[in-house]
Structure 1
Amino acid sequence: MFIKEVLKTLDPKFKRRKKGAQKARHLLESRARKFFLDNIASKINSDEAEEKMQGLNMLRNMTNGFIDVYEGTASDTLPGLQIYTILMNPTDIQHQILVKLHKIMEKCPGYPLEVELLITLASIHPSLINSSLCVKKFYSMEELMELERLRFDCKKGSKVMFVLNLVYRVVKNEKVLIFCHNIAPIKLFLELFENIFRWQQGKEVLVLTGELEVFERGRVMDKFEELGGASRVLLASITACAEGISLTAASRVILLDSEWNPSKTKQAIARAFRPGQQKMVYVYQLLATGTVEEDKYRRTAWKEWVSRMIFSEEFVEDPSRWQAEKIEDDVLREIVEEDRVKSFHMIMKNEKASTS
């Protein structure tokens, strides 16, 4: 039905077409897609604010009969939420690996998911690319052995340095929830916490992944939520934290990688920022600047902006590139001020999703 709505609105020839001259469905869809891209999408993608709004208004008028939105209500009982997106500069060894992988990606036909995986892993720590079998297509055994020797060198990975720095500063008074899409970084951080802080798995540091049975996941969450318990950090895969999981003991949430689907990021945040939370929740989404991670973030942020603007009468600029004027999080501000190796490229705050 939407195909006909598009053609009826945008195709001047559609109304004049005779009844018996109906085209095949795939031809109609192709024609509707072209009109939609030429008349609406091109306007939304324009650099001119007036033209953007014109395209959004056209889309709103065409979809208001079957699309609705519910923003939810801010709960007065929750202490607040601050969401920061942090673009991090890779270390020298990370930069070398990421440049090489992006050159490989450019030459690959289609979209190479295995190369994207390697980029995601290398953005956290260079040694992590060893965890993927496909890496042998692009690196020799000698190169991989050299990278494996760097496994416990925290200074070789900018995201690793940030996580350890943050945990060290807050561990006495707060609990930290660390999300990752892949298992390999979780195992690395588990080893680092054991070596650096002398923590034990199952005591100070807990792990929650999809490999655990549902009953075991419940035990891990109960242990993390225990008042006065020894647990300080929970390492979790996003896929393991399905709906209904509550982890309100954590007041700091770290997202180690980016998602094509922004709803997964929202769900991860909602594990901590939900009824029952007693502290302000601080969220840090870590991205390697100049990589596909940054592209994914820009794209998903743009999609969210467009979806919001369809229901907004007032035009607001796309906030995906807004730099935070002031870092209200005291711990993050201290880390940035004391950063001597210039790990931070840009820090952005999601004002729309954050609450005071």
Structure 2
Amino acid sequence: MRKEGKASISKYGSSEENEDSNKINSALHDHSPTYEHVRNKKATVKSENNEQTSGRRLCASKDYDMYKDLLDSVLDETTEDGSHEEAKQLSEHKEGLPLKFRFEDETTTAVEQSEFELMVESLFDEMELCLTYGDMEFYGYQEVAKNTRNSADEEANQYARCCKGKHEVMEDDEIGLICKYCFHMELEAKHMMPPWAEKTYRGGDRRFFGADQSSVLDCLDMETGQNFAGSCNLRKGTIWDIKPGIRETMYEHQREGLEFLWKNLAGTTDLAQVKTAESRNIEGCIISHAPGTGKTRLTMVFIETYLNLFPDSRPLIIAPASMLLTWEEEFRKWDVKFPFHNLSSSEISGKENKMVLKRLPEGRCLDKKAVRTVKIYSWNKEQSILGMSYTLFESLAGKKSQNESLARILLEKPGLVVLDEGHIPRSRTSNIWNTLLKLKTKKRIILSGTPFQNNFKELFNILRIVRPAIAGVLAKERKFAEMFTCRGRSTRKRYRDVEDSRFSASVMETAIEGLKAAMAPFVHVHKGAILQQNLPGLRDCVVLLRPPELQKSLIQRIEGSKNSLKFDHKVALVSVHPYLFNDCHPTKQERSGVDQAALEACRLNPFEGIKTSFVMELVRLSALRDERVLIFSQYLGPLDLIQNHLKGVFGWAEGKQILKMEGKMGQKDRQNLINAFNDPRSEAKVLLASTKCCSEGINLVGASRVVLLDVVWNPSVERQAICRAYRLGQKKIVYTYHLMTSGTTEGDKYCRQAEKERLSELVFTSSSNEQCKYKNVDTCIEDGVLEDMVANVKLKDMFEKIIYQPKEKNLIETFSIAS
């Protein structure tokens, strides 16, 4: 039989092929115990032959979508019962079975083998037959023959595990899948998918791909994902032992919050019991810590420790787009060992899967689809964290998604989901809320300093995202919640009706206590005492201002049309400056009876508007004290006008002394602007910011004065805006100014805020470690700038009333007297 093999080589093969084949046959005759040499030669001949064959069979195809193949490989790794295909394959390898490359209903086309290939295959068969007859017991020999006398202790332990069949497998292109320590072979190279294989995938139109693209996918599915192989070997102690020393770097409320997260999402903090406790029916929880108290850091520590114990959990962080770069910087700042992939970024960070990065086309800019595919594949293949915005998540996983595979990955693959500023998806009619309900994982964390937004209905919607099962129980309390909810535009009469409600105090107390008791097991609250203990202080006040005659007449004109759907918008603009009347009255008919010449003449004069007049003087006095001012507004019109006033009055330039942040700004530009404003060496004096897109999550500790130009219905919006500056890391006392124009409905809106905040305080009580009550202000702090403005003879007539500690007083009575 061996002579016939040599003859066939001489007849069909070249001289080089004859030489290699003779060496293989010689090894077979000798039955050498160094079988590894024979195996290497076998793989080398096979590899060379594959290269020759692939060179003939490859044909370039620009239509091949390698990124779709990456996404499909992510889905194919999970079986119907949720187990990972890789684990299943490794168990099959021990029985000698090949890796399974089956793509649903594919029909493979048999590749006709050449006579030379048939000859080489027959030699392999003969070699295996000889080994069987010789009873060499090769596998056992390799496992015990490894000399470990010069190895480190951990390597010796690994060899002991190898003898028990617990190998650490790696891929060798010439040999196959082998153990990196004892060279036990799990799978021979001949059973691995060659690069020239034809695949018809999911019934799609798949063709051969060219040499320029074939390298992208070669061996990607063969990666063993070694980072997943049990990162944490601890079996005793608590979760604090996973990362020694981390406890000392956290505040007390963060430590309590970390243990709370582990108890809710893993069942316990005891490592010996985690595996059994984790198998129970676990659901999500809420971290309701005051804005600026370190929720991001707390969550990062939890994710890092959780990934060490559950390496295949694949965490997903969904956050407002403006906060993703903040997350990215925080992961870098605290040196988290697991990569963070920002899916909303269109750039490759370099932390993606190395095998994919090597095979990306050089010198070509990748589109968003390609970048996202690479990041998702990397997140699936290795221990890492995926981050994306709410808008992007809804677009890719919602009902309007154009990629079914990608939608399935985002909804099914994550083992842990974090919703930063989790109060954002609170409306039943929003697409993002309905998309989040489709998430398969029950392990969800909502981070929100202000979970109670407008009413109890929205609160129940938030609870349904994090704990669907409990939401139905809490819904029974709605009949009590209705007494706290005033529908329509708030008026003083409605508030009096609430006070004179037919519900008794005992009934209200019972309803509130029922809600608190139901939410206590999965809601951890910290009201912000840590800020009072570690920051210089906060001074909060409402400033009621008297408008000039032109502005007052325009306000009265608007007040006569309260039935307008845009009434609040008009009041907000005109109460800032009279010129903004034209912005909310675009037609000539609406402007009839108004002196347009007078409006045009006052456009660049800030002192014709009561709020712009206040802002100019505040900025001037703050600049003299080397303090920076942060100005918030719901609308861009007032911000644009104030920017022009600052240029005209002080001669400042946009981008230097004046910075402006709005929704259309890119994430990188936004982060650069934040860094510039917080840098004490920069020239920045004022930051103009949109309340809608810049009042949550970002760090603006460079400001010590915060101005709120207009009043919003939702109290949490204003609180979030203030906490951009009043947060951990602030070095100065923070002064805030809620500006209101007398003669408008702004006072009524602020009263509504106070009522909503009172309900929030009743429902969300602080955790056990927080003994002192959270307060909005420090009454001992004096505001020198405001005092100087009031003492100024030219300015003192503009002030009608200044109210400190506003939300702890009877605001209805206060504004009644003021008006």
**TM-score in terms of structure 1 length:** 0.77
Q: Corresponding residue for 2:37?
A: none
Q: Measured at CA, do residues 301 and 213 of structure 1 come closer, stay the same or move farther in structure 2, by a change above 3 Å?
A: same
The separation in 1 between residues aligned to 2:750 and 2:504, in whole angstroms, is 21
The amino acid that maps onto 1:162 is F
Q: Corresponding residue for 1:337?
A: 791
State the number of aligned residues: 311
Residue in structure 1 matching 2:726, options 273, 277, 289: 273
3-state SS of paired residue (1:229): coil
Q: Measured at CA, do residues 42 and 184 of structure 1 come closer, stay the same or move farther in structure 2, by a change above 3 Å?
A: closer
Q: Measured at CA, do residues 217 and 61 of structure 1 come closer, stay the same or move farther in structure 2, by a change above 3 Å?
A: closer
Aligned-residue offset at 1:213: 1.1
Q: Corresponding residue for 1:84?
A: 541
Q: Measured at CA, do residues 124 and 292 of structure 1 come closer, stay the same or move farther in structure 2, by a change above 3 Å?
A: same
Indicate the structure (1 or 2) with the bigger Cα radius of gyration. 2
Instruction: State which drifts further: 74-83 or 325-334.
Output: 325-334
Note the alpha carbon deviations across 1:139-168, whole angstroms, 9 max, x for none.
228634431221122221111111111111
Aligned-residue offset at 1:350: 2.6
Residue 290 in structure 1 maps to residue 746 in structure 2: no
The amino acid that maps onto 1:161 is S
Alignment of 1:148-297 (within 5 A): 148-172=600-624, 173-241=626-694, 243-297=696-750
The separation in 2 between residues aligned to 1:144 and 1:127, in whole angstroms, is 9
The separation in 1 between residues aligned to 2:607 and 2:668, in whole angstroms, is 37
Residue 74 in structure 1 maps to residue 530 in structure 2: yes
Aligned-residue offset at 1:271: 0.8
Aligned-residue offset at 1:58: 3.7
The separation in 2 between residues aligned to 1:114 and 1:138, in whole angstroms, is 13
Residue 60 in structure 1 maps to residue 516 in structure 2: no
Is contact 2:632–2:721 with CA below 8 Å preserved after alignment? yes
The amino acid that maps onto 1:119 is V
3-state SS of paired residue (1:138): helix
% of aligned pairs identical?
33
The separation in 2 between residues aligned to 1:58 and 1:43, in whole angstroms, is 22
Aligned-residue offset at 1:114: 1.6
The separation in 2 between residues aligned to 1:352 and 1:302, in whole angstroms, is 9
Q: Corresponding residue for 2:804?
A: 349
Aligned-residue offset at 1:80: 1.0
| Structure 1 stretches lacking a partner, 5+ long | 10-31, 313-318
| Structure 2 stretches lacking a partner, 5+ long | 1-472, 487-493, 766-774, 809-819
Q: Corresponding residue for 2:381?
A: none
Aligned-residue offset at 1:258: 0.6
Note the alpha carbon deviations across 1:252-280, whole angstroms, 9 max, x for none.
11110111111111111111111111100
Aligned-residue offset at 1:226: 1.8
The separation in 1 between residues aligned to 2:552 and 2:780, in whole angstroms, is 28
Misfit runs of 4+, over 6 Å: 34-37, 41-44, 324-327
The separation in 2 between residues aligned to 1:272 and 1:218, in whole angstroms, is 16
The separation in 1 between residues aligned to 2:485 and 2:687, in whole angstroms, is 46
Residue in structure 2 matching 1:127, options 567, 570, 579: 579
Note the alpha carbon deviations across 1:26-60, whole angstroms, 9 max, x for none.
xxxxxx969999xxx99982369xx9744542432
Give the CA RMSD over aligned residues.
3.4
Q: Measured at CA, do residues 153 and 352 of structure 1 come closer, stay the same or move farther in structure 2, by a change above 3 Å?
A: closer
The amino acid that maps onto 2:799 is F
3-state SS of paired residue (1:74): helix
The separation in 2 between residues aligned to 1:276 and 1:83, in whole angstroms, is 19
Is contact 2:695–2:717 with CA below 8 Å preserved after alignment? no
Aligned-residue offset at 1:222: 1.5
The separation in 2 between residues aligned to 1:43 and 1:93, in whole angstroms, is 34
Q: Corresponding residue for 2:568?
A: 116
The amino acid that maps onto 2:602 is L
The amino acid that maps onto 2:691 is I
Instruction: State which drifts further: 64-73 or 85-94.
Output: 64-73
